[in-house]
């Protein structure tokens, strides 16, 4: 084993300082222990030095940075040094590289600059790729000797490979201990909070916190599904590099989330020159070339101005994330935090959690039922089940509000199941009481899947209700989306004997070609047209024409929004089969339905009008 080599750190550093940097070669930035303190790295280097009997070891990153050790000791940084192409080739290769004697290598023997270090040339060179536990390739571990080798033994190759593995593990550990992200090598959110706190404690009255959302979560996940994690990692590094060209040189960029960066900008009247923010968004909207595949992202830049008092007990990242999320939907691509908007979103989140609890407990939710009248006989033939939520402190929450919340929060499956169980059980009670009525249920697009048939059948069997007494209402837009798959699900429902209604017709796609292929049984004309019949000849013409068309296509036509006697009389003269609206009855709590059915002697009917003297 060699005990002295003549490779002093000072000699090696001086040798590289004296070498004139080649204009086409990356220049290695000055490195220090603080800038790349991999836990256990020095111990690994000493093991490599002894096991391979080499005087010089270097960790060369694929970014071009290099960290040098001579005789097992880290060499002090002494300014930038030019990297020989061999090091960069090794750092960016996924395969090991061995040069037993550079003088016998045609590509290295006459190369400019020569492969040198310190007082003499490097004759022996070997490298092993370094990767993290997640598979990210970060560079290569390189060993060098001024003496040539006859061979690199299998045990030496194994030692070098094991050392590279240990270093890759250390890089991941460093990301936790050193508070840096393992993908981008940027400081992460713990460092962000520390630096923000120090910034505001150093006498600065305010600071601008900026967040950059790379892409909406669903879109970013689509990148990963389509291209893999390596592509997504490369994208994050590319976005970080481009953002760093915009922020001031003395400002740090932090990775504070899987798809989010942040920075603390000085309070220097940032909004006085909004063109700079427009420039940042424009840069980020330019295509990125990741692994040879171009990609355009949907960035959002959020801004939050805050002081030291607001930092105590606050969460600036949550606030600025609110702004960056909104910015992704904004044409300009950047927005300033809006407190009122934030409070609204927090309220919606709290409502979602309370809705989930209400679905489990079942005490705050209730169902109301609105009658539907057969226009030929004037009798009630069906009831539409409508969910109601009585919040203990906020009172009645509008159905349109909490149903939309349920859809965004993934609660529609639970809400639909709750409505099905409760309403079908109630229908069974009414039918056993002698009321020959059907039940209509609203179903979300998220529920229109293969399991809906089984869920519907199970509920009907549990409450001993015929499936032909049920009707499912889907909005027009739901039925027109993904028509081939939708038709298969609808056909399966119809085979059970259950009716299918196209709800809110006239407000969606109105795709007649797709409509004629849908196995629906009825069509409900949207109430916005029906309500306008009394004042708008156009709305009346629309209702009349749609009703005639639907009837000719074989649908049973239902008109919603019948709120006056005049509208009711008008639809009696149209090709309509059923009517629903406040003129007939408001939605009723379940306890009031039996009495209403008993007291209801019938509305004016088409038959009565036809045979009136």
DSSP string, 286-321: SPEEETTEEE----EEEEEEE-HHHHTT--HHHHHH
Q: What percent of the chain has pLDDT over 70?
A: 85
Domain with CATH 3.30.70.270 in the chain: 189-337
pLDDT tens figures, 98-150: 999 988 887 787 766 677 655 567 889 999 999 876 677 888 999 999 999 99
Is the pLDDT score of 13 beyond 60? no
Domain with CATH 3.30.450.40 in the chain: 9-177
Confirm if 230 and 132 have CB atoms less than 8 A apart.
Answer: no
How many Å apart are CA 374 and CA 602, to the nearest integer? 9
Per-residue burial over 111-131, b if 16 or more Cβ lie within 10 Å, else e, is eeeebebbeeebbbbbbbbbb
Is the pLDDT score of 155 beyond 50? yes
Specify the pLDDT at position 172. Answer: 63
Q: What percent of the chain has pLDDT over 90?
A: 40
Q: Which fold has domain 189-337?
A: Alpha-Beta Plaits (3.30.70)
Q: Does domain 9-177 have CATH number 3.30.450.40?
A: yes
Taking the complete model, does pTM exceed 0.75, yes or no? no
Is the pLDDT score of 521 beyond 60? yes
Report the mean per-residue pLDDT for the chain: 83
Is the pLDDT score of 477 beyond 80? no
pLDDT tens figures, 34-92: 445 565 678 888 899 999 999 999 888 877 778 888 887 877 655 445 678 888 889 88
Specify the pLDDT at position 22. Answer: 34
* pLDDT higher at 4 or 454: 454
How many Å apart are CA 320 and CA 342, to the nearest integer? 10
Average pLDDT over residues 207-232: 86
How many Å apart are CA 187 and CA 193, to the nearest integer? 11
Average pLDDT over residues 257-270: 83
Specify the pLDDT at position 23. Answer: 33
- How many Cβ atoms sit within 10 Å of the Cβ of residue 305? 16
Confirm if 500 and 558 have CB atoms less than 8 A apart.
Answer: no
Is the pLDDT score of 293 beyond 90? no
Secondary structure letter of residue 187 according to DSSP: B
* Model confidence band, residue 499 (pLDDT cutoffs 50, 70, 90): very high
Domain with CATH 3.20.20.450 in the chain: 346-398+412-611
* Model confidence band, residue 301 (pLDDT cutoffs 50, 70, 90): very high
Specify the pLDDT at position 335. Answer: 93
Q: What SS3 string covers 50-96? A: HHHCCCEEEEEECCCCEEEEECCEECCCCCCEECCHHHHHHHCCCCC
* pLDDT higher at 400 or 517: 400
**CATH class of domain segment(s) 346-398+412-611:** alpha beta
Query: Can you point out the beta strands (E) in 418-463?
Result: 438-442
* Model confidence band, residue 371 (pLDDT cutoffs 50, 70, 90): very high
């Amino acid at each position: 084993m060699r005990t002295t080599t003549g490779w002093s750190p000072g000699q090696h550093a001086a040798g590289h300082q004296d070498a004139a940097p080649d204009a086409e070669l990356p220049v290695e930035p000055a490195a220090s222990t603080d800038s790349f303190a991999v836990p256990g790295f020095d111990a690994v280097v000493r093991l490599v030095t002894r096991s391979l009997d080499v005087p010089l070891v270097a960790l060369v990153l694929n970014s071009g940075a290099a960290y040098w050790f001579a005789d097992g000791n880290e060499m002090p940084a002494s300014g930038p040094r030019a990297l020989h192409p061999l090091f960069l080739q090794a750092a960016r290769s996924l395969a090991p590289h061995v040069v037993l004697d550079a003088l016998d290598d045609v590509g290295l023997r006459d190369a400019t600059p020569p492969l040198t270090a310190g007082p003499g040339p490097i004759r022996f060179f070997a490298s092993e790729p370094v990767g993290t536990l997640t598979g990210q390739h970060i560079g290569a571990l390189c060993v060098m000797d001024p003496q040539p080798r006859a061979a690199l033994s299998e045990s030496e190759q194994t030692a070098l490979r094991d050392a590279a593995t240990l270093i890759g593990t250390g890089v991941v550990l460093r990301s936790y201990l050193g508070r840096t992200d393992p993908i981008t090598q940027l400081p992460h959110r713990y460092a962000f909070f520390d630096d923000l706190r120090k910034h505001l404690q150093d006498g600065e009255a305010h600071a601008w916190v900026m967040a950059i959302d790379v892409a909406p979560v669903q879109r970013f996940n689509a990148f990963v599904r389509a291209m893999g994690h390596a592509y997504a990692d490369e994208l994050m590094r590319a976005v970080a590099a481009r953002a760093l060209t915009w922020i001031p040189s003395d400002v740090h960029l932090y990775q504070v989330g899987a798809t989010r960066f942040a920075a603390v900008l000085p309070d220097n009247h940032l909004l006085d020159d909004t063109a700079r923010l427009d420039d940042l968004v424009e840069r980020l909207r330019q295509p990125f070339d990741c692994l040879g595949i171009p990609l355009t992202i949907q960035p959002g830049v959020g801004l939050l101005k805050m002081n030291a008092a607001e930092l105590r007990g606050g969460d600036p990242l949550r606030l600025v994330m609110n702004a960056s999320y909104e910015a992704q939907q904004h044409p300009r691509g950047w927005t300033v935090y809006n407190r009122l908007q934030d409070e609204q979103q927090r309220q919606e989140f709290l409502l979602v959690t309370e809705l989930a609890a209400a679905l489990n407990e079942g005490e705050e939710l209730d169902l109301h039922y609105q009658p539907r009248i057969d226009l030929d006989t004037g009798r009630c033939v069906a009831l539409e089940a409508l969910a109601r939520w009585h919040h203990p402190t906020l009172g009645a929450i509008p159905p349109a509000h909490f149903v939309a919340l349920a859809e965004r929060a993934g609660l529609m499956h639970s809400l639909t199941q709750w409505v099905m169980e409760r309403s079908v059980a109630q229908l069974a009670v009414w039918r056993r009481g002698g009321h020959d009525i059907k039940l209509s249920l609203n179903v979300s697009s998220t529920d229109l899947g293969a399991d809906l048939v089984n869920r519907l059948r199970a509920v009907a069997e549990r409450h001993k209700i015929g499936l032909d007494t049920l009707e499912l209402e889907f909005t027009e837009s739901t039925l027109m989306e993904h028509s081939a798959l939708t038709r298969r699900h609808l056909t399966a429902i119809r085979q059970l004997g259950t009716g299918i209604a196209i709800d809110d017709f006239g407000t969606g796609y109105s795709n007649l070609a797709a409509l004629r292929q849908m196995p629906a049984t009825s069509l409900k004309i949207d109430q916005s047209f029906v309500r306008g019949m009394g004042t708008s000849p156009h709305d009346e013409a629309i209702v009349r024409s749609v009703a005639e068309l639907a009837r000719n296509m074989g649908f049973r036509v239902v008109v919603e929004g019948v709120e006056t006697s005049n509208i009711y009389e008008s639809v009696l003269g149209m090709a309509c089969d059923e009517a629903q609206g406040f003129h007939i009855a408001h939605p009723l709590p379940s306890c009031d339905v039996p009495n209403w059915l008993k007291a209801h002697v019938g509305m004016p009917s088409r038959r009565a009008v036809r045979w009136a003297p």
